[in-house]
Structure 1
Amino acid sequence: MSDNKNKRLPPLPRSRDKKQGLRANVSRSMATRQLLTPEQLQESLAVAPPPSLPIAVIAGLQAALALLTAIVLVTYSPWAHLVGFPALGALASLFGRYAPLEHRMRIVGVCAALLTFGVLVPSLASYAGANATVMVLTLALVAGMSTLMFSHWRLGGPGAVIIVFAAGGAQAPVASWDMLVTRMGLTVAGGVVAWLICMLTDRLRTAEMANLKLPDAPRRPFSHELIAAGRITMGAAMAALIAHAAGWHHPAWAAIGATAVMQGGHLHVTMSRALQRMAGTVVGAFIVWAILALSPSFWALVAAIVFFQFITEIIIGYNYALGQVTVTPMALLMTYLASPAMAGASMPVERVLDTILGAALGIVFAVIFSTVDDRIFLARRRKKAREQS
């Protein structure tokens, strides 16, 4: 027995200690500090060319033409007062720009259906008599469900944020079944316009696509897709509810901001998008204020919307902040065109506040719900950057 007492015990395995030490080094507080470094700001300011400038130009032309056609057609129809809905459907032309030619039209068609879904959910809720809080929560529902669909069906950018934008545009009350059906019909019509224009012009991408080689997006486990969708649902709901409680007129913009930021695949991308979205929105809101101060005519507004849509699709590939400088005027002028009485002079300021709120909550939720792998990736990236500097 004494021999057993004096016998040296084997050392404990060190793998557990290493694992615990690794987890401590990639804590959420550590990740937060790494996201608040000067290196992160430099990443946000970086400008890089898009995968293909010719394809970006073609995509801009397609989106601008689809938007203009949808607006013009409904303006000379009995439903001119609902001009915003076909314009929302026409946003289907934004999707699939780098998709192979044989897959592009499927993506545009699916996204047109998702835009219609984005309009349908809040419209049905309003028709059913939902109160303001429930209407705000429909934005979160649309954000989560569309995030899951985009991820699982691999539809690509610009992602679920456009569907949430459509849901935000459908927040106005629905007084009758006829109004609901008309909304849906006009949104579908806008999607059909987008599909036809892309079909007729997509051959312009043929030569460029033959030389373009893009890496395949990784297939994520369905459980990871569900977690990401749940995280975005919570972030969009919290952002919209806070904006609503503050008495802001457009809580959808806060939900859009949270969704856009949390679409980033990694924490450093999420933080960059938050900084870029806030900075670009401030500049874009000032542009809107300057335009509206001139009291532009209807067709001047349409021309501005189409112009900003075209420019956005070209420059957003260089830097997300640059895209926000032009997409903000496009979105706000569309809102003003659809509901000038509801827009008000404070609209640009509210857009900035809502965006800052949504972006800030987006990065907070991204850190809170981050996995160990997310934080390890960030730590390794920061370490590599330090070694190269």
Structure 2
Amino acid sequence: MRGAEGDARTDDGGTRHGGFNPRGPLAVVGRFLHELMFSIGPGKNDPAAALRVAAGLFLPLATVALLGRLDLAIFANFAAFTGIYGRGEPHRVRLVAQARAGLLMVAVIFAAELLARLNPDGAPSPWAIVVGTTFVAWLCSLIVARWRLRPAGSLFYIFAFAAVSSLPHQPPLGDVVVVVASTFVLCLAIGLAARVLPSHRTPLGWPEIRAAGRVRLGGAERRVLWLESIGYLVAPAIAGAAATAVGEALGFGHNYWAMVAAVVPLVGHSTRHRVNRGLQRVLGTVVGLVLLAGIAALRPAPWIMVLLITACQFGAEMLITRQYFLAMVCVTPLALLSTLLAAHTDPGALLHDRFIDTAIGAVVGVLVVLAPSAYRHWAARRADVRS
């Protein structure tokens, strides 16, 4: 017989005396939230990759800060995304992946520069940014899939294009070229740096590089590639349009944050995984915004902000393949500190805009992910009724 404090159950599966039912709805919600927010997958040489990416970001940012050219920080930041690719690959594969991803990023940055400079009176209209960013999202998703780059998807390219094109004041083009090109080359060099150690050295001759660069897709892969690219056309367009319309009505900006959040659920190996990523994006953003509010209240000096950005980048790379919620807690202050470093913006407005735009984008992205499954269920039920 159980004691008075035991969890003796009733016939309907509940508990008497206020005992906790490990199979009840609260327990199910608790397990779901734990899986969503705190369960961590196995590591895969994360410290080495995180150090490479953090170094590729810190050195350019520190340089522009020392030179008093914080207006160039955003360009160094996006060019440093080169180092994110090929994180666990042999040197020849990493070099090819980073070269391709980095050159694509350079092309996107200068396409954004072109769009911005076509509007001499300031940044393009929010609707022009939505159209341009949607096209970049779709095209880059096709290129990234064709090259089998990892991380998959076009999230980084969306972010870079929209953020650069929306800058109200563009620095001299020559300075942008120097910062972007030097950061790109630096990241390639850091990606190969471990070859100085004989124990980490892998073949890097031209035949190996050519072999690593060959990517052949079968007919089924090409069909999947084109089908998945539709999501990168639909989700950013809807999210961007919704964020722009709501922003114009309520008086806030940064519509591209909604477009970035909308493509997050599109990457994943199952519908559940993709939906979870959308939820993790919102929850991680909320916690990250609280962290950023505390940092902004201290009004750190630019060199402190450079160190914080680097620390957030290191943390994000340590966690991004293991726990997306915790990674987003690092990514949110990383992105907004970079904005604060490059431009004198009200932190309160950034916090407000980031939350609303992320929520809009995540909802749109999840709905786009669920739409094909919902359509199949609807079509199946309709066929059953007819038969």
* Same fold? TM cut 0.5: yes
* Aligned counterpart, 1:283: 287
Relative to structure 1, the CA distance from residue 96 to residue 306 in structure 2 (aligned partners, 3 Å threshold; closer, same or farther) is: same
Relative to structure 1, the CA distance from residue 99 to residue 61 in structure 2 (aligned partners, 3 Å threshold; closer, same or farther) is: same
Q: Please state how far the C-alpha of 1:275 moved relative to its aligned partner.
A: 1.0
* Aligned counterpart, 1:358: 361
* Aligned counterpart, 1:136: 130
Relative to structure 1, the CA distance from residue 362 to residue 319 in structure 2 (aligned partners, 3 Å threshold; closer, same or farther) is: same
* Aligned counterpart, 1:348: 351
Q: Is the 8 A contact 2:138 2:233 kept in 1?
A: yes
Find the residue that maps to 2:300 and give its secondary structure.
coil
Relative to structure 1, the CA distance from residue 179 to residue 101 in structure 2 (aligned partners, 3 Å threshold; closer, same or farther) is: same
What per-residue deviation string (whole Å, max 9, x for no partner) do you get for residues 136-193 of structure 1?
A: 22121111111111111101116421222212320335778x8345434422222112
Q: Please state how far the C-alpha of 1:128 moved relative to its aligned partner.
A: 2.2
* Aligned counterpart, 1:44: 36
More displaced 10-residue stretch of structure 1: 198-207 or 290-299: 198-207
Relative to structure 1, the CA distance from residue 194 to residue 158 in structure 2 (aligned partners, 3 Å threshold; closer, same or farther) is: farther
* Aligned counterpart, 2:207: none
What per-residue deviation string (whole Å, max 9, x for no partner) do you get for residues 98-136 of structure 1?
A: 223321011111111122222223222222235331122
* Aligned counterpart, 1:186: 179
Relative to structure 1, the CA distance from residue 322 to residue 63 in structure 2 (aligned partners, 3 Å threshold; closer, same or farther) is: same
* Aligned counterpart, 1:149: 143
Relative to structure 1, the CA distance from residue 159 to residue 354 in structure 2 (aligned partners, 3 Å threshold; closer, same or farther) is: same
What per-residue deviation string (whole Å, max 9, x for no partner) do you get for residues 3-30 of structure 1?
A: xxxxxxxxxxxxxxxxxxxxxxxxxxxx
Distance 1:371 1:187 in 2: 44
Distance 1:277 1:355 in 2: 8
Map of 1:180-259 to 2, 5 A cutoff?
180-201=173-194, 221-247=221-247, 248-259=252-263
* Aligned counterpart, 1:101: 91
Distance 1:208 1:276 in 2: 37
Q: Please state how far the C-alpha of 1:278 moved relative to its aligned partner.
A: 0.8
Q: Is the 8 A contact 1:71 1:87 kept in 2?
A: yes
Distance 2:283 2:152 in 1: 19
What per-residue deviation string (whole Å, max 9, x for no partner) do you get for residues 341-380 of structure 1?
A: 3x542212221111111111001111224598999xxxxx
Q: Is the 8 A contact 1:61 1:310 kept in 2?
A: yes
Residue 61 of structure 2 is aligned to residue 61 of structure 1: no
More displaced 10-residue stretch of structure 1: 360-369 or 71-80: 71-80
Q: Please state how far the C-alpha of 1:49 moved relative to its aligned partner.
A: 2.6
Name which of 63, 76, 93 aligns with 1:73: 63
More displaced 10-residue stretch of structure 1: 264-273 or 274-283: 264-273
Whichever residue aligns with residue 154 of structure 1, its letter is: R
Whichever residue aligns with residue 83 of structure 2, its letter is: S
**Identical residues among aligned pairs (%):** 24
Name which of 325, 329, 335 aligns with 1:325: 329
Whichever residue aligns with residue 96 of structure 1, its letter is: G
Aligned-CA RMSD value: 3.1
Q: Please state how far the C-alpha of 1:77 moved relative to its aligned partner.
A: 4.1
Q: Is the 8 A contact 1:46 1:319 kept in 2?
A: yes
Whichever residue aligns with residue 191 of structure 1, its letter is: F
Q: Is the 8 A contact 1:285 1:348 kept in 2?
A: yes
Whichever residue aligns with residue 362 of structure 1, its letter is: G
Relative to structure 1, the CA distance from residue 262 to residue 68 in structure 2 (aligned partners, 3 Å threshold; closer, same or farther) is: same
Relative to structure 1, the CA distance from residue 350 to residue 134 in structure 2 (aligned partners, 3 Å threshold; closer, same or farther) is: same
Q: Is the 8 A contact 2:73 2:338 kept in 1?
A: no
Q: Please state how far the C-alpha of 1:51 moved relative to its aligned partner.
A: 4.5
Relative to structure 1, the CA distance from residue 131 to residue 275 in structure 2 (aligned partners, 3 Å threshold; closer, same or farther) is: closer
Relative to structure 1, the CA distance from residue 317 to residue 263 in structure 2 (aligned partners, 3 Å threshold; closer, same or farther) is: closer
Map of 1:21-32 to 2, 5 A cutoff?
none
Distance 1:253 1:346 in 2: 13
Find the residue that maps to 2:161 and give its secondary structure.
helix
Q: Is the 8 A contact 1:94 1:158 kept in 2?
A: no
* Aligned counterpart, 1:384: none
Q: Please state how far the C-alpha of 1:79 moved relative to its aligned partner.
A: 4.3
* Aligned counterpart, 1:334: 338
Relative to structure 1, the CA distance from residue 258 to residue 300 in structure 2 (aligned partners, 3 Å threshold; closer, same or farther) is: same
Distance 1:250 1:113 in 2: 26
Find the residue that maps to 2:40 and give its secondary structure.
coil
Distance 1:117 1:226 in 2: 22
Relative to structure 1, the CA distance from residue 203 to residue 339 in structure 2 (aligned partners, 3 Å threshold; closer, same or farther) is: same
Whichever residue aligns with residue 168 of structure 1, its letter is: A
